[in-house]
Structure 1
Amino acid sequence: MQVSRRGFVTGLAASTLGLAATPTLAQAQVASGEGYVQAARLGGDVGYVVMDARSGQVLEARNPTMGLPPASTAKTITTLYALETLGTNYRFGTWLIATGPVVNGVIQGDLVLSGGADPTLSTDHLGAMAAELARIGVRGVTGRFLVWGGALPYAEEIAKDQPVYVSYNPSISGLILNYNRVYFAWKRAGNGYQLTMDARGDSYTPTAYTASMQVAARQSPLFAYSDRGGKEQWTVAAPALGRSGSRWLPVRHPTAYAGDVFQTLARGQGCPLPSPQEAKTAPVGTVLVTHASQLLPTILQDMLKYSTNLTAEAVGMTSSTVRGLPAARGRSGTAMSRWIAAKAGTQAIDLVDHSGLGGASRVTAMDMVRVIAAGQPMGLRNLVKPFKLRDAAGRNLQSQPFAVDAKTGTLNFVSSLAGYMTAPNGRELMFAILTGDVDRRRRTQDEDRPAGSVEWVKRSKILQSQLLMRWGAVYG
């Protein structure tokens, strides 16, 4: 990037302010964006654009057309895609379907647990469905217990460039339970450990019989995974356990997992079922019980707040399905990239997924601001959460001088921020800040927390606050 002599001198002046700290508004007026970037010592690349929300005028930019991983800021695109495609009144559904009549409490045929790609379905929801099945008098079946997850194309994981054991990278299916995660807990018992794998909710804690765990006498890897005949088998390194603890692990066979859990819950309600089998085709029959999700905007708001990757994949792939576009992992991301190009005039967005988890996705700061602008009339600012400016230590400022509502995104050696800000004088601005050391990320992509990544992301987030303070002072 070319830096003018004026920018260089301003950068030197800014360095005397102590760029490790978030500046005051008065200090930010004499500092330069380039000075902040250089002081952050990130390595890699930094691109940003700030735009006047009313006129669309670009007020300041650095590497505006450089493609960088968007991380979870990609979820803003998925949000707009889902809102336009599915609508604000859309709810995901999960159904219990009988293929024959119920006679004296027994289904004369099969019972099918049919998923409609609800990303928020929980064990407690399945427990309520089992209780409703019992309430209407169903006590068994003459046929099979089937599980249908074909509403979305199956994928073993969201992204290939993540450690095998991270819970935010589970499988994708049309039947999703507990974000396709299983709960692993351990407690020291005698000379060994008591291990449990369950599908816990607030009201129910059924054992997950589709997954098992064993302790291995090794230093690394922390977890190892194998699939033996559909049974998910995990081992954990003994030195990592300590006295007790727990964590969620990803599920790779979601339909089997959901079927196993529902069979246990139904048995507890006095309705024993055969072992679950995966249905090969969409079920046809009488709907006995329905669970409906919350409305789509609530799901999207939670997705943006908690950055749930599987929710993004479910709503994005469902949107592609409804549009009649390819919905498989990767292909659905491409379809959404083409949609946003037509919708917002973006020129270089290339997404491999809907969540931003895959490190191969690329956006530019200029295109991300176009997304933010397209989201303005669709209510995107009301869905993203308020952003807290940070001080020199990376802590939230005690007093925030202006409002910022934005989506964050974080991967190892990648940090992004895109959204809206109201300057101190009331001027509305839109912005995107992308930072990434792509080569360093690639070298450490199989590690959960590689050395130096946490500190790198912390410096990037401080830089983001410094830039926002500058724009609030200079353009507000």
Structure 2
Amino acid sequence: MHKRWVVIWTMAFLFIQGTGPYAAGDREGCGKKETDAKIAGILEAAPLKGGIVAISVRSADSGKLLYEQNGNTLLRPASNMKLLTAAAALETLGKNTRFKTGVYRTGAIQNGTLYGDIYIQGGGDPALLKSDLADWAAELKKQGIRRIQGDLVGDDSRYDDTRYSLDLPWSDEQEYYGAQISALTLSPNRDYDAGTAIFEVVPAKKPGMKARIKMVPESGMVKLVNHVRTVRDGEQQEDDIVISRAHGGNTFTASGTITADSAAVRQWKAVWDPAKWVLSVFKKTLEENGITVQGTIKTGRVKDAAVPVLFSQSPPLSSIMVPFLKFSNNTIAEMLVKEMGKTEKGEGSWEKGLEVIRSVAGNFGMDPDQMMLRDGSGISHADLVRANDLTALLYRIQEKDWFPCFFDALPVAGAENRLEGGTLRNRFKGTAARGQVFAKTGSITGVSTLSGYMQATSGEKLIFSILINNVLDEEAVHQAEEQIVLQFINQGGEG
């Protein structure tokens, strides 16, 4: 249903006259006293006391600033930063771009044995799956290879070797949302949680026994120490499984308990050294397809004498946008930053990629001198943007040919289908905003944000940004955000 709304929205934009950023304090024709009073009441309530709240609301048709509260105050955007990253990536890389991974070999094939090495050259594909590796194995087998005398070598040199953004908390590096960034990486699922493994914990048949733990995808590189114990039904209210990895290695320790009647418990954990992780899973995939590898796995650049075996391509960027924005995928965000740096500046680094984002944001109505960009995902507590600038960006990009795929990738309020609702599927249920708010959520410690598009009950189309910083109760803050949005849904931009 919302796809049809995108078409209407996009067609309506063709009639928009005038562009340009709107200065702070441009409140002509903004909300009535009743709207101001109701929002003031929300801001003065307990969840937001002591916090800082910025609100910016524009007409989607004219770009006119209809309402603002601290709209020009620099605040942490959390994952609303991904709106800038997505817009910059679509603008610079193009919605149809695909990320290419190359497989090469050296040496000759004699009697089913390759007397040389296999190289995998990463091209920044966040959507690489084990099924792709199986296709590679099938192609090698088709070329008559049953045994590889040499090594498996991963080339991740497209990006620099800085694996973590400047401000990633050390405690997040083992979590899926803090995975290492590499030009050669692997996803365990179609959410494209690149650089992570999924651990599936299943209770043993009898209490007292160790639980069974399966890793997806399986790999000889990752080791698991299992201390999870199965307990009787009703012995505890909920499972308390903890899976952790020490810095600098791939030995995971699982501890805690799981009840005998529990369903499988899944946890996503980031691996150390994504390129070697790909090689390890590929080696196992080769073995599953009847190809043995005599050598080791290591990283290095593809040799000039290497012969191309095949090239695989990711889905187009327009498709990757869906898990990126719907599920707020940090790894995709940071890979796109480095790809923009490589494509536009010749260097796959955060520094160069963020320069590209800053430039594109400036072209879309944001003030480049009034922002602090430290990463592409918003996980940094040093990122700073202004709510008025975010709504200016969201207004300007409506004219781009890639806007429909950007819009369609935004979470939809209260939509039960996971691929539609994304991070908003459990919010705004039973309200007038259900199915009428298309927005990016954001959350880091002390911060909650929500920015995007909404349609008021009057039919008026609005662009909004709510940035809330320095608060304590995330769940209560979500409710406050929703109350603010509902005020504009019910009253429109003019109150």
Q: Which moved more, 1:426-435 or 1:381-390?
A: 381-390
For residues 401-445 of structure 1, give each alpha carbon's deviation from its aligned partner in whole angstroms, at most 9, with x where no partner exists. Answer: 88332222222332211112233444332211111216x5xxxxx
Amino acid at match of 1:238: G
CA distance in 2, matches of 1:140, 1:113: 17
Q: Which moved more, 1:295-304 or 1:135-144?
A: 135-144
Amino acid at match of 1:287: P
Does the C-alpha gap of structure 1 residues 69 and 125 become closer, same or farther in structure 2, counting only changes over 3 Å?
Answer: same
Does the C-alpha gap of structure 1 residues 211 and 256 become closer, same or farther in structure 2, counting only changes over 3 Å?
Answer: farther
Does the C-alpha gap of structure 1 residues 325 and 343 become closer, same or farther in structure 2, counting only changes over 3 Å?
Answer: farther
Contact 1:53/1:428, CA 8 A, preserved across alignment: yes
CA distance in 1, matches of 2:196, 2:376: 19
1:15-164 equivalences in 2 (<5 Å) = 32-39=38-45, 41-43=47-49, 44-158=51-165, 160-161=168-169, 162-164=171-173
Contact 1:326/1:335, CA 8 A, preserved across alignment: no
CA distance in 2, matches of 1:187, 1:388: 31
For residues 118-147 of structure 1, give each alpha carbon's deviation from its aligned partner in whole angstroms, at most 9, with x where no partner exists. Answer: 111112221222223223322233332211
1:294 pairs with 2:294: no
CA distance in 2, matches of 1:471, 1:208: 59
Q: Which moved more, 1:120-129 or 1:243-252?
A: 243-252
Contact 2:210/2:228, CA 8 A, preserved across alignment: no
Contact 2:413/2:434, CA 8 A, preserved across alignment: no
SS in 1 for 2:116: coil
Distance apart, 1:175 and its partner CA: 1.0
1:352 pairs with 2:374: yes
CA distance in 2, matches of 1:460, 1:97: 55
What is the aligned counterpart of 2:270 among 235, 238, 250? 250
Amino acid at match of 1:251: V
Q: Which residue number in structure 1 is paired with residue 383 of structure 2?
A: 361
CA distance in 2, matches of 1:383, 1:187: 34
Say how many residue pairs are matched: 429
Distance apart, 1:263 and its partner CA: 0.2
Gaps of 5+ in 1: 15-28, 201-205, 441-451
Q: Which residue number in structure 1 is paired with residue 19 of structure 2?
A: none
Amino acid at match of 1:319: M
Q: Which moved more, 1:253-262 or 1:177-186?
A: 177-186
Contact 1:33/1:470, CA 8 A, preserved across alignment: no
Contact 1:148/1:282, CA 8 A, preserved across alignment: yes
Amino acid at match of 2:227: V
What is the aligned counterpart of 1:198 among 197, 215, 223? 215
Q: Which residue number in structure 2 is paired with residue 387 of structure 1?
A: 413
SS in 2 for 1:252: coil
What is the aligned counterpart of 2:250 among 232, 236, 239? 232
Q: Which residue number in structure 1 is paired with residue 176 of structure 2?
A: 167
4+ runs of 1 displaced by more than 6 Å? Answer: none
Q: Which residue number in structure 2 is paired with residue 211 of structure 1?
A: 223
Amino acid at match of 2:307: T
Gaps of 5+ in 2: 1-24, 188-193, 230-239, 416-420
Q: Which residue number in structure 2 is paired with residue 416 of structure 1?
A: 449
CA distance in 1, matches of 2:183, 2:81: 22
Distance apart, 1:61 and its partner CA: 0.3
Amino acid at match of 1:172: I
Distance apart, 1:98 and its partner CA: 1.1
1:181 pairs with 2:214: no
Contact 2:462/2:493, CA 8 A, preserved across alignment: no
For residues 103-124 of structure 1, give each alpha carbon's deviation from its aligned partner in whole angstroms, at most 9, with x where no partner exists. Answer: 4443342111222111111122
CA distance in 1, matches of 2:346, 2:77: 23
Q: Which residue number in structure 2 is paired with residue 268 of structure 1?
A: 288
Amino acid at match of 1:373: Y
Amino acid at match of 1:210: V
Q: Which residue number in structure 2 is paired with residue 445 of structure 1?
A: none
1:308-327 equivalences in 2 (<5 Å) = 308-324=329-345, 326-327=347-348
SS in 1 for 2:492: helix
For residues 138-166 of structure 1, give each alpha carbon's deviation from its aligned partner in whole angstroms, at most 9, with x where no partner exists. Answer: 22333322112222223444552254442
